[in-house]
Amino acid sequence: MTHTEIFDRHVEEYEKWYEDYSEVYHSELAAIREQLLKLPENIRGIEVGLGTGRFALPLGIKEGVEPSRSMAEKAINRGIEVIEVLAERLPYGDLQFDFVLFVTVCHLASLKNALAEAHRVLKHEGSVLIGFLDKDRSIAQQYIEKRHRSTFFAKANFYTVDRIQTLLKEAGFKNLEFNQTLFGDLDEIEEIQIPKPGFGEGSFLVVKATKK
């Protein structure tokens, strides 16, 4: 079963996670929002792999792509303009956007190809933002250990900070800036956490990089 088929079949389970782990979700949102606030105002951006719109909607992102039809329908019902395509084949012309957001890139077939597409559609000096679970930290390690009985993470590809840095630089990005959140194991997080700069402590990182 492909990633897309998994999300098509389990969209309600996906939605329930955000209710069960509300503090985790809002901590991730806070970290992404902090990086977005560093960008100029009144700019146009997309989210790639936007799921049901759980991040795009509160972050004010009005459009993006999502290959799962069931997930896309939820996002459309939330008022987001969605095109049902893969991250590796964005249906946009060159130099269209000021920023591109990815969240949980572990589900992409090829992050390398997705970043090449993001670079193509970004304007000069545009920004890419990536939210991801650090493979070296506790939450990703928990998912890896339990992947054989996980609905969503059985085929996930987790990334280290070093690997993300390498892929971004190879894709033509510069000026990497990290922040981090989710300090502690998943079930221990009972309040919304304030993100910290850098990496090495939190399980969820957001990196912002600029197109050369």
What type of residue is 2?
A: T
Q: Where residue 37 falls among pLDDT bands split at 50, 70, 90? A: very high
Inform me whether the pLDDT recorded for 1 exceeds 60. no
How far is residue 173's CA from residue 3's CA, in Å, rounded to a whole number?
A: 27
The pTM is what? 0.95
Query: How much of the chain, in percent, has pLDDT values that exceed 70?
Result: 99
Q: Does domain 3-211 have CATH number 3.40.50.150?
A: yes
The pLDDT mean for the chain works out to: 95
pLDDT of res. 2:
66
Q: Are strands 81-83 and 63-65 parallel, antiparallel or unpaired?
A: parallel
What type of residue is 174?
A: K
Distances (CA, A) of 63 to 17, 44, 113, 119, 199: 23, 9, 20, 17, 29
- Residue 113: burial class (beta carbons within 10 Å; 0-12, 13-18, 19+): middle
Inform me whether the pLDDT recorded for 151 exceeds 80. no
Inform me whether the pLDDT recorded for 120 exceeds 80. yes
pLDDT of res. 3:
66
- The alpha carbon of residue 85 and the mean position of all alpha carbons in its chain are separated, in whole angstroms, by 16
Q: Where residue 186 falls among pLDDT bands split at 50, 70, 90? A: very high
Q: Encoding tokens for residue 204? A: 């969820």
Q: What order of strands is seen across the sheet that includes strand 45-48?
A: 81-83, 63-65, 45-48, 97-103, 122-133, 204-211, 173-181, 196-197
Q: Which residues pair with 45 in a beta bridge?
A: 99
Q: Where residue 148 falls among pLDDT bands split at 50, 70, 90? A: confident
